[in-house]
Amino acid sequence: MTWYNGISLLGILGLIAIAWILSENRKALRWKPVFAGLLLALAIGAFLFAWDGGREVLKWLNDGFLVLVEASKAGSQFLFGRLAIGPGGEGSLGPILMFQVLPSIVFFSALIGVLYYVGLMGFLIRIFARAFSRLFRLSGAESLTTASNIFVGVESILTVKPHLRALTRSEIHMVLAAGMATVASNVMVAYYEMLKDHFPNIVGHLISATLISAPAAVVFAKMLVPEREQPETLGVHIHPHYEKESSLIEAVINGASNGLKLISGIVALLLAVLGLVALLNIMLKGGTELVSGGSLSLTLEGILGYLFYPLSLMIGIEPEQALAASQLIGERVVITEFGSYQHMAGMIADGQINDRTAIIVSYVLCGFAHFASLAIFAGGITAIVPEKTKEVASVAFRALISANLACLMTGAVAGLFYTGQSVLFAG
């Protein structure tokens, strides 16, 4: 243990103080869900980092996930041949995101469809939803969507489709924040493929990050937009709403189709956003060099790095590592976590960040807390209930802030319990 572990603890308290300052109604703030969420996040962190049994459980989950990853490669290597063989494999043509990372999403989406069909996914979601409802005193709709987001992405909105029209403003904010603070299980494989050569057993960290981020999202969502109305489903346990396929084959087909749609969205987004960021950087660099006579050259990554620098220090990252870490965190808000994880892999390989920084940042980045997901989640709700557009628009940006604060708290929890011996699976 070092004094940086203590800084991470103070950072958690600092993030809560920031949320209190940003709260739209401090008088209406209820502290029970805040303290319950904080204690649960810390308990999960202690269980996974500090207890040998917890590490063994997560190691087992990690190894099981890797078996699925290997199975997912059969289809991509059959279709794309050597293009699908990752770096280090026999006959590999080098790293190619399109053919080595993204195709696995189709397999995992189909698998999730199967789990829904056999009832296992609904069963797991109901267990988590009941626990959240009792611990945090959330409404049935809030509990269900927060629990769903541990396993799936924007599809979580559909689990409460019959209740969307009756959601309060605070509930809408909670739904958005929880969705952006976590990641879907079918994209974890993409992060694994990008980091596996530089960060052994990264999947274990991704799973634990998602588990911690769910209660962290409750903490900040309920602080920034406290409940002032009477939710329709308060104290009510509701069941996930989804249309069950008529057969197992239909579940596989629909799941695979959803995965293909997700890939097309990711590809389109990366092509557009990375190009726009490059254009903006050219303009920023040229403009600042022109004004300063060549003595100053700014980029978007550099600006975001300086903006997130104090927060990186706050969550326990060493000062000499904080600028690199803050650039990765800032990039996620603009170019999504895919770009940030890819850049992080390069930084680890080049020795720009150490083990402690890599672990903390990997936890912070494990969330859809960026503008693209904000548009997806907000658009998903308004497409189903257009009459809620005004309420969604009024809390959307606050939800993005809540999600980022939750992800930062998740990183701080990892920083609090990290020691040279409790690196989980990174050494």
Domain that holds residue 81: 3-417
Query: Is position 304 within any domain?
Result: yes
Domain annotation covers residue 66: yes
pTM across the whole model = 0.88
Residue 401 tokens, joined: 């802030």
Structure tokens at 311: 């927060």
Task: Give the total number of structural domains in the chain.
Answer: 1
Q: Answer whether residue 423 is part of any domain.
A: no
Residue 238: inside a domain, yes or no?
A: yes
Residue 164 is assigned to a structural domain of this protein: yes
At residue 427, the pLDDT reads: 42
**What is the residue whose two structure tokens read 């706050």?**
314
Per-residue pLDDT for the chain (427 aa), expressed as one digit of tens each? 688 999 999 999 999 999 999 999 999 999 999 999 999 999 999 988 877 777 788 778 878 888 887 888 888 888 888 888 766 567 777 667 778 777 887 888 888 889 889 888 888 888 998 998 988 989 999 999 999 988 887 778 878 888 989 999 999 999 999 999 999 887 888 888 888 888 877 888 899 999 999 999 999 999 999 999 999 888 888 887 777 788 999 999 988 888 888 788 778 877 887 788 889 889 988 888 888 887 788 888 788 888 899 999 999 999 999 999 999 999 999 888 888 998 999 999 898 999 899 999 999 999 999 888 888 888 888 888 899 999 999 999 999 999 999 999 999 999 999 887 544 444 4
CB-based contacts of 77, cutoff 8 Å, min separation 6: 84, 85
> Is residue 422 a part of any domain in this protein?
no
* Residue 209 counted as domain residue: yes
Cβ–Cβ < 8 Å for 219, 20: no
- Residues whose CB falls within 8 Å of the CB of residue 168, separated by 6 or more in sequence, listed in order: 227, 228, 229, 230, 231
- Say which residue the tokens 């209820």 belong to: 30
Query: For position 334, what pLDDT does the model report?
Result: 84
What is d(CA 223, CA 229) in angstroms, rounded to the nearest whole number?
15
User: Is residue 144 one of the residues assigned to a domain?
Assistant: yes
Residue 362 in tokens: 């990997």
Compute the half-sphere exposure of residue 158: CA atoms within 13 Å on the CB side of its CA.
Answer: 8
